[in-house]
Amino acid sequence: MTPTRRYDGSAHRHPEAGFSLIEVMSALVILAIALTAVFATFISQQKSFTVQNRVAEMQQNLRQAVEYMSRDIRLAGYGIPDNVAVPGAANPAGITSIRSLYAVDNTTGPDQIYILYMFDMDANQPPTTDNASGVPANAGSITVPGTTGFLATGGELVLVTDGTTADLYETTAASGTTLTFGGGYGYNSGHGKSYPAGSPPVTVAKARFVRYYIDGTTDSTHPTLMVDRLGGAPPQPVADDIEDMQLTYGLDTGGDGIVDTWTAGPATPSQIRQVRLQFIARTRLPEAGWAETRPALGNRAAGTTPDGYRRRIYDIVIDVRNSGV
């Protein structure tokens, strides 16, 4: 800056523009307040987004669990003669024969359910019939027109029925026109049923025999709905973070097609008209500051310890289509 001269000849400098310390401090305070507000809004929005994602994931787990189980429950008993309990070695504890629907009630934890039906809906796994000679008692194999759709190495569950009675077997081999049985399910378990040749024909088809349960021990922080296919394969996960499952049967004890009583325990298959399926799902991770206790469900009491999980209850009544007349 070039100095100017006064009339008296002395040099004079104009003052330079700038901010005082007070102005700078005031600006910093205002900026800090604005950034705090922006940060608080960001944190709030991020938390809301995270919660919404976790809730959406939880609801998706519920939908998957219900969809998967509903299909099997509706088909329970399909292809099995009315009111027949199927002999087999892999039975639930406490019963001597397999039923098309069998609930294991638990008042202190999640319930379990066993479901059995004939699986003949897949064109790649068609049912077949026995040969003209029938099926002898305690036979280790059966001759059929063909073994298309059966695994050559075995390990599959098979229903054999004449429309009046039925047996459940596990294959150990399938070749040509011969199905070989073993593995702990049928003939080798001492069943003496004989299916004579002639009418009615004997149907031989794959069986779907499954157990649904909640695994809360492998990873206690993430209980998982599991399906055990009961044919030697390891159980598989169906839906994550399913905390509780409760089941009750709607029974028609009067034979008029109307549900007149409900029970949580085993029931006569031909009386079952509906199954009430109840789930509790929870978020995958707990949320800081959120206190919630597991609610009561079915005949299981509520939890006693609040935690940080959000939960949803799903309650659905499923009609059973193949439980008998």
- Take residue 174 and report the two structure tokens written for it: 């399938």
**Cα 133 from Cα 127, distance rounded (Å):** 18
**Residue 139: how many other CB atoms lie within 10 Å:** 18
Domain presence at residue 175: yes
Domain presence at residue 28: no
**Cα 147 from Cα 221, distance rounded (Å):** 45
Average pLDDT, the chain: 81
Confidence of residue 2 (pLDDT cuts 50, 70, 90): low
Domain presence at residue 83: yes
- The residue among 293 and 168 whose pLDDT is bigger is 293
Which whole number is the average pLDDT over 135-153? 80
User: Structural domain of residue 232, as residue ranges?
Assistant: 56-319
- For residue 187, the model assigns a pLDDT of 47
Identify the weakest region by mean pLDDT among 70-79, 91-100, 146-155, 249-258. Answer: 91-100
Which whole number is the average pLDDT over 205-214? 90
User: Would the pLDDT of 229 be above 50?
Assistant: yes
Number of folded domains that form the chain: 1
3-state SS, the chain, equals CCCEECCCCCEECCCCCCCCHHHHHHHHHHHHHHHHHHHHHHHHHHHHHHHHHHHHHHHHHHHHHHHHHHHHHHHCCCCCCCCCCECCCCCCCCCCCECCEEEECCCCCCCEEEEEEEECCCCCCCCEECCCCCECCCCCEEECCCCCCCCCCCCCEEEEECCCCEEEEEEEEEECCEEEECCCCCHHHCCCCCECCCCCCCEEEEEEEEEEEEECCCCCCCCEEEEECCCCCCCEEEEECEEEEEEEEEECCCCCCCCCEEECCCCCHHHEEEEEEEEEEECCCCCCCCCECCCCECCECCCCCCECCCEEEEEEEEECCCCCC
- For residue 325, the model assigns a pLDDT of 45
- For residue 293, the model assigns a pLDDT of 92
- For residue 8, the model assigns a pLDDT of 60
Domain presence at residue 144: yes
- For residue 261, the model assigns a pLDDT of 94
**Cα 208 from Cα 129, distance rounded (Å):** 18
**Cα 155 from Cα 176, distance rounded (Å):** 17
Confidence of residue 245 (pLDDT cuts 50, 70, 90): very high
Domain presence at residue 37: no
- Take residue 196 and report the two structure tokens written for it: 């004579």
Percentage of residues in the chain having pLDDT higher than 90: 27
Domain presence at residue 22: no
Winning range, highest mean pLDDT, from 27-36, 81-90, 123-132, 190-199: 27-36
- For residue 300, the model assigns a pLDDT of 95
User: Would the pLDDT of 317 be above 90?
Assistant: yes
- For residue 192, the model assigns a pLDDT of 60
Confidence of residue 111 (pLDDT cuts 50, 70, 90): very high
Strand 224-228 to strand 311-319: parallel, antiparallel, or no bridges (unpaired)? unpaired
- The residue among 70 and 10 whose pLDDT is bigger is 70
User: Would the pLDDT of 250 be above 60?
Assistant: yes
Which whole number is the average pLDDT over 168-182? 85
- The residue among 254 and 193 whose pLDDT is bigger is 254
pTM score: 0.78
- For residue 131, the model assigns a pLDDT of 59
Tell me: the pLDDT tens digits for 84-107? 667 655 555 555 566 788 888 999
User: Would the pLDDT of 225 be above 50?
Assistant: yes
Which whole number is the average pLDDT over 2-8? 56
Which whole number is the average pLDDT over 74-82? 85
- For residue 188, the model assigns a pLDDT of 46
Confidence of residue 83 (pLDDT cuts 50, 70, 90): low
Strand 157-161 to strand 141-143: parallel, antiparallel, or no bridges (unpaired)? unpaired
Domain presence at residue 2: no
Domain presence at residue 116: yes
